[in-house]
Amino acid sequence: MSTSLVLITIICYVFALFLLWRERSFRYVLMLFAGHMVMLLLPIWQRVYQIRPMNAAGLELLGRFTIPWGLLIGGGPLLALPPLIFYYGLRHRWWPRHYLAIWVAYAAFVMYFLFIEALLVRSGALLFDNSVLIADTAIPAEIIQAVLLGGVSLGMAYTLVSTRHYALRIAIFPLLLSGVAAALLFLGVFASPLWVSGLLDQEGWFVVGGGLVSLGLVLWGVHLLASGLHAGRRQQFVWR
């Protein structure tokens, strides 16, 4: 596993523990765990996106699927970092919880994942690098990955902000499952025209059409999340 991924993971947990001490909030640590849980869904995406087996040591599931340690350990914090920064900024009023601001945050999430793709391209931390389906299309794999993972991170941020006033015993399960739910929604449901078209027909133009439909669904999902956060911007709750 890449040394850089190990270092990033350690830094994320150090800051999460620091914020646990400073703000008395377990939410930062819980979201890092939620990121790791998303990585456990990799066998599903290996099947639907036709991802080639990765030649790397990792956690074996069902004797057929291997989750590289780089993804399992390093991918989780990388996925959870954008919603944690977004949440911290809202909590300290660095930016407003406005509809437009949330769209700007989503665009920043997409740029973040494009940057990660360029920075860690050889570390095994990328989801779609070995996808047969996406490799046969005219859509760059890094663009597809950034758009979808940006949606997953925004879904995690939505749960984090929406449960900010809940007691920890109530919020713990929504927070831990926020990444799993967002991944199933964006990578599974909203991206279904892309991967279903690829399973039915490997022709590039057909998959591109499915990709465009999926893009529309992803943007619609971002609109719903942004609208939900915007609608509650005037509610005054205690940040836990």
- What does the pLDDT look like over 103-125, one tens digit per residue? 999 999 999 988 887 776 554 44
In this predicted structure, the answer to whether residue 238 has a pLDDT above a threshold of 60 is: no
Note whether residue 55 is domain-resident.
yes
Note whether residue 236 is domain-resident.
no
Note whether residue 239 is domain-resident.
no
Q: What are 6-65's pLDDT values in tens digits? A: 788 888 899 889 888 888 888 889 999 999 899 888 878 877 777 765 656 666 665 566
Total count of domains within the chain: 1
pLDDT at 33: 92
Q: What share of residues in the chain are helix, strand, coil (percent, to 5)?
A: 70, 5, 25
Q: pLDDT-derived band of residue 82, with 50, 70 and 90 as boundaries?
A: very high
Nearest CA to 156 out of 87, 223, 70, 220 is that of 87
Domain enclosing residue 164, as ranges = 3-231
Note whether residue 51 is domain-resident.
yes
Note whether residue 238 is domain-resident.
no
Which tokens is 150 given?
A: 């940006």
- Rounded to whole angstroms, the Cα distance separating 9 from 173 reads 22
Note whether residue 49 is domain-resident.
yes
In this prediction, residues 135-162 reach a mean pLDDT of 83
Note whether residue 237 is domain-resident.
no
Note whether residue 142 is domain-resident.
yes
Cβ partners under 8 Å of residue 124, min gap 6: 1, 2, 54, 56, 68, 70, 71
